[in-house]
């Protein structure tokens, strides 16, 4: 899919990196009011067991409520790292419950959220994710200096933007991510550890766009290619979980 963004206008200059004055380039098109209350509403705990509990909740997002699950390890280890999972287009907070649960078993607080599905308006996607990170950072059991993020497909594009625009992140996993003007612009400015995963048989994102996003990343990010289509399998997600746990210094289990 070809990006519909052009190099005209102040905002698009910032997004696509097409030039403009230093002041223009310094603007943050994904800025938000971090002081606005999250207004968290708890809906209960689902399936508590000896390994973890799944907290069902919602919070105030960019526009309207954002549904979420927060998976909390049962054993106390002081302040824990935390990882946010972002689904692909057409998905919801249930999509990454399995890898979120696996990572929670390793002593990491994890969170999944339901996002809008508009690939042409990244601001609500990015702001919702940043407010989710606000929620995690405010928890008494989370170390706000050990935050990670995993994004798949449309969520991977959001994750690529956040890698360059969200200074709190330590580790960002980008799974089946599309390289566009916007995502490559922001990934070039990444300040965090990166792990790319992609399928050589991806039938949704052209191979050239998968490669373009990886090639734009600074330094020497970790990259894994799989003989898979657009959907990853449990083995690839376990590898992402293990990398996140290592980067965020998760408790040894």
Contact yes or no for 5/182 (Cβ under 8 A): yes
pLDDT tens track for 38-87 = 999 999 998 778 889 999 999 999 999 999 999 999 876 689 999 999 99
CATH architecture entry for 39-247: 3-Layer(aba) Sandwich (3.40)
What is the model's pLDDT at position 119? Answer: 66
Q: Which of the 8 DSSP states describes residue 201?
A: T
Q: What is the mean pLDDT of the chain?
A: 89
Which of 5, 176, 1 is closest to 86 using CA atoms?
Answer: 176
What is the model's pLDDT at position 135? Answer: 98
Provide the pLDDT confidence category of residue 180 given band limits of 50, 70 and 90.
very high
Query: Is the pLDDT assigned to residue 253 strictly greater than 70?
Result: no
pLDDT cut 70: percent of the chain above it: 88
C-beta atoms surrounding 85 within 10 Å: 30
CA distances from 53 to 47, 59, 116, 227 (A): 6, 19, 26, 34
Averaged pLDDT for residues 101-115: 96
Contact yes or no for 57/43 (Cβ under 8 A): yes
- What does residue 213 show for φ and ψ, rounded to 5 degrees? -65, -40
What would the DSSP string read from start to end of 40-74? -EEEEEES--SSEEEEEEEEE-SSSEEEEEEEEES
What is the model's pLDDT at position 26? Answer: 58
Averaged pLDDT for residues 13-31: 52
Structure tokens at 208: 């050239």
Domain spans in the chain, listed from the N-terminal domain onward: 39-247
Which of 31, 7, 3 is closest to 17 using CA atoms?
Answer: 7
Averaged pLDDT for residues 234-244: 97
Query: Is the pLDDT assigned to residue 3 strictly greater than 90?
Result: no
What is the model's pLDDT at position 5? Answer: 29
Query: Is the pLDDT assigned to residue 172 strictly greater than 60?
Result: yes
Query: Is the pLDDT assigned to residue 90 strictly greater than 50?
Result: yes
Contact yes or no for 151/186 (Cβ under 8 A): no
First to last CA, the chain: 43
- What does residue 232 show for φ and ψ, rounded to 5 degrees? -85, 165
């Amino acid at each position: 899919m070809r990006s519909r963004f052009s190099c005209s206008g102040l905002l698009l200059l910032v997004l696509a990196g097409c030039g403009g004055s230093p002041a223009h380039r310094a603007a943050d098109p994904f800025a938000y009011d971090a002081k606005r209350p999250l207004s968290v509403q708890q809906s209960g705990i689902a399936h508590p067991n000896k390994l973890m509990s799944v907290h069902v909740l919602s919070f105030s997002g960019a526009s309207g409520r954002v549904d979420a699950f927060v998976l909390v390890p049962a054993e106390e280890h002081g302040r824990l790292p935390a990882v946010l999972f972002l689904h692909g287009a057409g998905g919801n907070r249930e999509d990454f419950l399995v890898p979120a649960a696996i990572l929670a078993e390793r002593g990491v607080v994890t969170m999944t959220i339901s996002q809008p599905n508009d690939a042409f308006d990244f601001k609500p996607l990015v702001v919702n994710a940043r407010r989710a990170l606000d929620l995690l950072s405010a928890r008494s059991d989370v170390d706000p200096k050990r935050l990670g993020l995993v994004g798949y497909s449309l969520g991977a594009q959001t994750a690529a933007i956040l890698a360059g625009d969200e200074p709190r992140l330590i580790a960002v996993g980008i799974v089946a991510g599309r390289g566009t003007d916007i995502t490559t612009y922001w990934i070039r400015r990444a300040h965090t550890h990166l792990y790319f995963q992609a399928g050589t048989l991806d039938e949704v994102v052209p191979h050239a766009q998968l490669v373009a996003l990886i090639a734009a990343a600074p330094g020497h990010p970790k990259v894994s290619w799989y003989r898979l289509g657009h959907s990853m399998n449990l083995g690839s997600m376990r590898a992402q979980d293990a990398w996140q746990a290592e980067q965020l210094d998760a408790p040894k289990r």
